[in-house]
Structures are given as C-alpha cells and as structure tokens.
Structure 1
Amino acid sequence: MDKHIDILIVGAGISGIGLAAHLSRNCPNRQFEILERRDSFGGTWDLFKYPGIRSDSDMSTFGFNFKPWQQSNVLASGSAIKGYLSEVVDEYKLKDKINFGHRVLSANFDSSLKQWILNVEDQNQKKQTWTANFVLGCTGYYNYDHGYEPEFPNREAFKGQFIHPQHWPENLDYTGKKVVIIGSGATAITLVPAMAKGGAEHVTMLQRSPTYIASIPSIDFLYEKMRKVLSEDVAYKLTRARNIGMQRGIYAIAQKQPKLLRKFLLKSIEMQLKGKVDMKHFTPAYNPWDQRLCVVPDGDLFKILRSGKASVETDQIEKFTETGIQLKSGKHLDADIIVSATGLEIQILGGIKATLDGKPLNTSKHMLYQGVMVSDVPNMAMIIGYINASWTLKVDIAADYICRLLNYMDKKGYDEVIPQGDQTEILEDTVMGSLSSGYIARAADVMPKQGKHAPWKVTNNYLADRKELKHAKFEDGILKFFKRDLEDNRKPKLVS
C-alpha cells in the first residue's frame, strides 16, 4: 500500500475545505487528508471563470459558521469566494493536507479489514493504492469534465465560437460581438449583464421557458449600520439569523401560498422592466420554487434589458446556421458567439467507481441517513448542500454531525459504523427534493433516494436539520457499530 489515511476527504471545494476545518476544530486527534484532482482548491469557485461569476446566495449564510463574512456586499464574486476559502486554508493549515492532482479512480470497502481500498492516479498519471478508515465525499453533484449539453440540430454548421460556461476560454475577447446565451438559469442571468457591460455589441438570452427572478440589494445597508453600533460578532450573527429566516420564510410561502408569492415576484419584475420588455419572458408556467429561484443584484439584468444592450427571446431552436440560430417561430438570431448555459451534468462521488467487497455500489438504490451517510455502506458520508438555501449551511451542520459521530466512536472504541437501511422506506424521489428543474430530473439515476420518514427523509429545512443533527442520538437501533478483529491479518482486497 502506498499510503494509509484515517479519514480521507475527496474534494477540496467549499464542502471539503469546510469539513476539513471542522475536523481540525472538533477532532484534533483524528488524522485526515484531502484528495483533489485539480491543481488548486475551491471546486466550483476555481473551475468557473465566466464573466460576472458570483454566488447566488447571500454571503452571511454562504460563509462558514466559524468564519463570518465581514463585508457588506450581499453576493460575492467567484474570486472573492476563492479568496475567502484561501483564508480558511491558511488559518487551519490545510494546504499541506491537500494532495493536488490526485484523482480517485475506484474505492472498494474491504469488510475483512473494515477499510476502504482506493485506486488513485497522481499528477504524473502514476497509479497508487491508498487505504482509509473513513471516506468522506465532498465532490458536489456535477461532472467537472463537462457540463450538460443537449443535442442542438445542425450545430456543426455554426462558424462562430461555441462555448460552455464550465470551460470559459481564457482572455476571450467578445468586444463588438453579437452573443447569444442559451438558458435562463443562474449562469445565464449572470452572463447577460456582465457581457453586455463588458463590450459585447448585443447579448440575447434565448430561453425555452421563463424563470422566476428576484432582485436583491447588492449592499446590506442594515448590516453596515449595525456594525457601527454593535460588535462585529453580534452584527454578523443578527444578519445571518435574519437571512436564514428570510430564506426559510420565502420557501415556506412558496409551498403554502404559491399564488401570493407568484403575484409579488411578477409585480416586482414588471416594475423594474418599466414596460420596455414584454412580461411574457418573465412569467413562468410553474409555481415559485417548483424550480430554483434565481436572484440578481440591484436588478442588473432588468436594467441592461431596458437599455437595449441586451434582449430576451422565449422560443425553441429549430437549428443552428452558419451565422447563428434559426428559431421555430421563424426568427433568426445572428451570433458571433453562442454560449450554452444549459446546466450541469449530474455526477455523484466525483465519478468514483465504488464497490463493497467488489460488488458495485449504485447510490441511486440507497438512501441517506440523516442526510449525511449512505444506507448500508460502512464508514462513508457525503455532503450535499441545500437546494433551497445556501449550500454551506448544510456543510456546517453535516460536518458538525460527522465530528460528533467520530468522537462517539473514539469514546466507545468502534472502528466501523453502518446505517442499516430499510427497503420499505425507500421512495422514487431523490434527496434533491421535489424541484422540477432539468438537472434535478437528470439526477434520478445517480442520486440517493428519499425515505418516507426520518432519519431517511431529507427535508431541505435548515432550521429543522440543525436542531435534529445537533441532538441526534447514535444509539438509535439503525446505526450499527463494530470493532475491528485485531487477530484478522488478512490482506486487503484491491478491486480495479
């Protein structure tokens, strides 16, 4: 074996960095390392380089609970978030624990050793074998190699530049160019004003159907005022609590009174468009939060549409042409550059081929215990953030729970833990919840499934989860603990 690790974290994005910091704080006697296939940490915030990339959650809740985001801007740029993560890495001395350029190809749990055996490829494409007592998946839920791209008829005919935001060309010059952005999600509504302001001749957002979009202030003026009269810590905690409450409140209204929230959102958009853009482009056929609600700072999207520097088309693509896109309505969109902001390709565990004693692990046939541990899989946890609130809120409470569990096992002398599943509990819905977004639908074949009841039911309710995970008992009849047989010296099974 090339290396043995007590706790192996896969992925050095926001989840992996957050979990590592929590382990450093709460499990000082535990040894851990991080495997990161890329050459830098940050995950999403290191990969995506497209113009205007930013958070789509407020930073008071997107920042970790142990490290306040002490700036008054509500949303943050990708580079600012990467800088914030860099501070966490430095403060908790994590750089030396990250193995960059290391990709996990496969992972097999050897029940005779009660250990994970991992095939790893290093930066020189040299194969290594690592062993670990615990594997903690922090890879998010999308494929880093390529995004989702639907089949566009006659795409090869287009003579201009075709780009997916996940692989934005370095130093792309779009000055004076006609740009068509396909999509209406968070990426598209960020790109439109950024490219229009950045010198494009004209930017068109082409969507099949409208999305709900809310405008939020770019600066939290109340937080600014509180910082002048209260301590930094108190001002931050009050702001964070307020924003958590607002996130939950808006989602709750969407569930209980969707017509009321729909009316409010559409009226707000109408006021900002000021009659310059047809409301049909911003009037979805579904209810709020049936798909993820998008946000724009200071209504920048609506301002750029009013100015005429950008426009929106709601239509379907008939085919690509040499000079742009032919729509089914008969209209042609001229383009020098086409950006396919069509979403993510869903992937679990970073595409790792996982097995249990050589038998393939199909995560879509399993549930998540407490939204953290994979049913019937030993010594494994994964962190999947919220779909209706800041991703990092889930990172914090899941990491705290994992630390409590590890400390409990240390106290009792346990080496192995298995959340014993109940197949009568499993439902068809995934842990991503009831959202009807395209990427959610595409997740059905890989994402763990929902359970009917707790602790198998994933509620996507931060306030309820925080209370539950903080006080969850480990001796519940579901978690099964074992001690390693010290006399068993059999060699680990390596599955390629």
Structure 2
Amino acid sequence: MSEHFDVLIVGAGLSGIGAAHHLQEAFPGRRYAILEARTAIGGTWDLFRYPGVRSDSDMHTLGYRFRPWTQAAAIADGPSILDYIRDTAADGGIDRRIRFGHKVIGAAWCTADGRWTVTVEHDGRTSMLTCRFLYMCTGYYTYDQGYTPEFAGIEEFRGQLVHPQHWPEDLEYSGKRVVVIGSGATAVTLVPALAETAARVTMLQRSPTYIMSIPTEDAVATRLRAWLGPRRAYTITRWKNVLISTLIYQLSRRRPAMIRELIRKQNAAQLPAGYEVDVHFNPDYNPWDQRLCLVPDGDLFRSIRAGRAQVVTDRIDRFTATGLRLASGAELDADIVITATGLQLLAFGGVQFTVDGRAVDLPDTMAYKGMMLSGVPNFAFTIGYTNASWTLKADLAAEFVCRLLRHMDSGGYDRCTPWPDPDIAKAPLLDFQSGYVQRAIHRFPSAGSRRPWRLGMNYAHDVLSLRHGRIEDGTIRFARATDPAHVPLRATP
C-alpha cells in the first residue's frame, strides 16, 4: 500500500517552506509532506556558497508576508537568508514534515481514483506515494549544473575554472588574478567580494547590464520598527518597496530613455572621473528587458574606484594556457576564471507527468494565473516575479491554493482542472530577454494572450486576483467524486 497524503509539496526551499506554512495554518489537520531531493532546507540559498552571495531584492519583499524581516540589512547575505528560512521551518514544525533525499521523478494522475501517484527515488530505491493535490515548489532551474558556453581552447587553460553554482570550499583566491566572466547578479556580487583579497579582479562582459546602487539598510524601515514595532513596520515597508519597484518597472517600460539616463547618471557619479560609462555600463537594450542588478551601497563601484577591480567589455576569442585572448586582440592573464554565465532552466525539476495514462507535454499546456496547468487536475506550482521579489508571488500562490482547497472541500469536489478558451493565443510563459530564459523557454508551458492565462507581473493586481478574486471564474472546471466511498476532507473552520 502506498502512503497517502492530502497534499505533497515538492521542494524545501523558500517557496516550499512558505507553502507549507500557509497550508498548515489554513488546515491544521491536513496530512502533508515536503519531498526534497537534496539533504538540506533552503534550496537556492543552501546551494549557492560563493563569496558575497546575497539577495538581489530587498528582504522586506523577499521575506515572507507572515514573518517580518527584522535585521538591519535590507539586502541580506546568503547565510542570513538561509537562517531565516530554517527558522521559519523550525518554528512551525515544518522541518518535521520534510523527507530529505527524496527526488521526485514522475507523477501520474488517475481520475478514477482522484489522486496522484508520485514516484520517488531515495537511497537508490524507488517508491510510490499518493496524494490528492500536488504542489510543485522546485523553482525553474537545474541544481545539477550551471550554464557554461562552449569556449574555444578551454581545455588549454592551466589555472582553475569555477562555476559559481558549484563553488569549491577550498578555493584560495587571495593574491590571485581572477577573471569573472559575466555581468549579471552573480558577477556583480562576486567581484567586490573577491576584490577584498585577490591581487586583481576583472569582470569580463560581452555587453553591459543595468546596475543600480541602493542602501544596504532601509532607513525608513529602521525608523518604523522603532515607532510601530516589527510587524506593522514590516507591512508598511513591504508595500513601500512594492510601490517603488512597480513605479520603476512601469517607467522603464513606458519611458525607457528617462530611466536609462537616471541609471547612467547614478553610475557616472560613483565611478572615477573620465570613466567610460557608455562602454561598460550603458546596455543596448531598454531597462527591464533583462533583470536590473542591484549593488548595496555601490560596492562594485567602490571596488572600481579603489583600483581593486576593473571591467572589460569585449568578446572572448579563446582560452589560452595563462588566461583569455579577446576578440580585440587583448589578453587577460588569470590564475582563476569564474564562469558566472548563467543558469540552466528546468521545468518542475524534470518530473515526468501523466494524466490518465497520457504523457503531459509541457509546451502543449498553458499556465493558469501563472500557477496551474491546463488539463492537469489538482496541481499547482510556484514561479515568482521576474521584475520583483520571488516571494511576493510565492506567498500569493500559496494563499490561492489554500482558497482553492477550501472551495473544493465545501463543494464536495475531488478535482479541479483549468481549461483555456481555444481562441486564446499562446505567448511565452516568461516574457524576458535574458539568455538563460531564451535558451530554454520553449520547453516550458506557455502563457496566454489574456488573463487569467497571462503571467501577471503586477503584485497589486495579483493581490486582488489571487487573494480576493472568485475561485469559480468559468475557467477552472470542478468535478465531484465518482467513487461512492470517497469522503472529502473538510477544511478546519
């Protein structure tokens, strides 16, 4: 007999722990478990161990809605974020529901039984679990390896080659010449951290990225905590930051030249006089066509001003035994080359789904409200915002799942399935120009040309839709149990 659960959550990272909190708060008697392929809580924040790893969003929005972030630093380091996730899991007893080393490889829905059968690998063995509702909180990239382009001559390099996703614990870079390939969030985090002790750090980029400097500490949040206490201060600061980031995003889309000039002026003010700002910090795309990078207290610019770091904008011709030869003919000597060249996207951790014996081809499905799949019953997933903090959407998705389960119980339904209007045109699930998205988006579900199938990127709108909107909106089909022996589990009032 397979062990049965009301809900199975896959993934014990930021999203999975948050989903578990919402679930057990709404339904204290509901039986659930979290399946985690790795051996630790934290997901991304446990995996990434490179120097200086930190949030790329402020913690008043990256933190959970239900658990105030009370530390002074609004842009927090990785270990602090990991402690926050672990403390959340421990305080709610969620950590006791996690099954570590359980990798989900397949999930099969059976309408006749009204349940999922989930295939799990653990300790070299395969087992089955069943559940009424399956909730994927796996993120959208693979933990096995990052993305490294094919560089000519890479096998000739005699130094150390490192990808940040798998940072060696014993890597010694003090006094070394380091080249960081890339200009995204990982690169701009690594460069100032390495520059503290390395002999020289070079950020080698093919093209610039928009980079903005923000204070490490939120002065408004600090004052509000003193006046109002942590919970009320957190709520106000959260909405303040949501509104500011939404304003910047909307202006970036509607008046890109204005935001481009604002960012350029800020960069120029923090760089040495005469610095080639337009060469190294003025992209050829509009703001927010790709994710905008944040640097706390301008630490990247400080490293450049101090002469501890430099930026080179050029293309790589090939690796050499001692470093890199560039398309311009210049050479960069390096003891260590770090390929901060991006991630490999992977939908739902690579799990293979079937519905009543038919394989689910993800590109043929459409994402309802960015969190359920067309034609796939009793299933939800979490994908956060690309223009704001991931957790803002993760919290809303978990709240919606709880509302959905309560509605199913009150109506005596055993399944719910979104079905799109056939006239809706398909669109990419993530409308984002970053390379890591473009390389893999064709393997993901699609979005639709209008709501509720278009992936929303507006938190305030999603609050109204997911927290307060109608559950029975004419898109989700609900069905009552066909098995006379089926007794629906009632929600706790």
Tell me the TM-score normalized by structure 2: 0.96
SS of the residue corresponding to residue 206 of structure 1 reads: strand
Task: Provide, for residues 356-398 of structure 1, a one-character-per-residue CA deviation record: whole Å limited to 9, x for no partner.
Answer: 2232212222211122111111111000000000000001111
Separation in 2 of the partners of 1:358 and 1:193?
Answer: 52
> Partner residue of 2:49?
49
> Partner residue of 1:446?
443
Task: Provide, for residues 372-431 of structure 1, a one-character-per-residue CA deviation record: whole Å limited to 9, x for no partner.
Answer: 11111111100000000000000111111100010111111111110112332132x322
Contact 2:206–2:315 (8 Å) recurs in 1 = yes
Which one of 202, 212, 216 corresponds to residue 204 of structure 1? 202
SS of the residue corresponding to residue 443 of structure 2 reads: coil
Contact 2:180–2:337 (8 Å) recurs in 1 = yes
Contact 2:112–2:483 (8 Å) recurs in 1 = no
Q: CA deviation at 1:488?
A: 8.5
Q: CA deviation at 1:74?
A: 1.4
Contact 1:206–1:314 (8 Å) recurs in 2 = yes
Q: CA deviation at 1:487?
A: 5.0
SS of the residue corresponding to residue 171 of structure 2 reads: coil
Separation in 1 of the partners of 2:126 and 2:110?
Answer: 19
- C-alpha root-mean-square deviation of aligned residues, in Å? 1.3
The gaps in structure 1 that reach 5 residues or longer are 490-496
Which one of 258, 261, 264 corresponds to residue 260 of structure 1? 258
> Partner residue of 1:32?
32
Separation in 2 of the partners of 1:444 and 1:56?
Answer: 22
> Partner residue of 1:493?
none
Task: Provide, for residues 452-485 of structure 1, a one-character-per-residue CA deviation record: whole Å limited to 9, x for no partner.
Answer: 1111111211110111112221222221112222
> Partner residue of 1:214?
212
SS of the residue corresponding to residue 84 of structure 1 reads: helix
Contact 2:207–2:313 (8 Å) recurs in 1 = yes
Separation in 2 of the partners of 1:487 and 1:469?
Answer: 32
> Partner residue of 1:304?
303
SS of the residue corresponding to residue 221 of structure 2 reads: helix
Which stretch shows the higher mean deviation, 442-451 or 98-107?
442-451
SS of the residue corresponding to residue 263 of structure 2 reads: helix
Are 1:143 and 2:142 counterparts? yes
SS of the residue corresponding to residue 33 of structure 1 reads: strand
> Partner residue of 1:411?
410
Task: Provide, for residues 228-253 of structure 1, a one-character-per-residue CA deviation record: whole Å limited to 9, x for no partner.
Answer: 23333222222111101001010011
SS of the residue corresponding to residue 415 of structure 1 reads: strand
Letter in 1 for 2:109: F
> Partner residue of 1:459?
456
Alignment: residue pair count: 485
Contact 1:33–1:99 (8 Å) recurs in 2 = yes
Contact 1:178–1:335 (8 Å) recurs in 2 = yes
Separation in 1 of the partners of 2:94 and 2:273?
Answer: 52
> Partner residue of 1:492?
none
Separation in 2 of the partners of 1:458 and 1:387?
Answer: 11
SS of the residue corresponding to residue 86 of structure 1 reads: helix
Q: Which runs of 4+ in 1 moved over 3 A?
A: none
Matches within 5 A, 1:360-371: 360-371=359-370
Separation in 2 of the partners of 1:229 and 1:486?
Answer: 57
> Partner residue of 1:481?
478
Task: Provide, for residues 298-323 of structure 1, a one-character-per-residue CA deviation record: whole Å limited to 9, x for no partner.
Answer: 00000101111111111111111111
Are 1:235 and 2:233 counterparts? yes
Separation in 1 of the partners of 2:31 and 2:105?
Answer: 22
The gaps in structure 2 that reach 5 residues or longer are 487-493
Letter in 2 for 1:86: R
Q: CA deviation at 1:168?
A: 0.4
Letter in 2 for 1:287: N
Which stretch shows the higher mean deviation, 306-315 or 41-50?
306-315
> Partner residue of 1:470?
467
> Partner residue of 2:333?
334
Letter in 2 for 1:401: F
Contact 1:426–1:449 (8 Å) recurs in 2 = no
> Partner residue of 1:103?
103
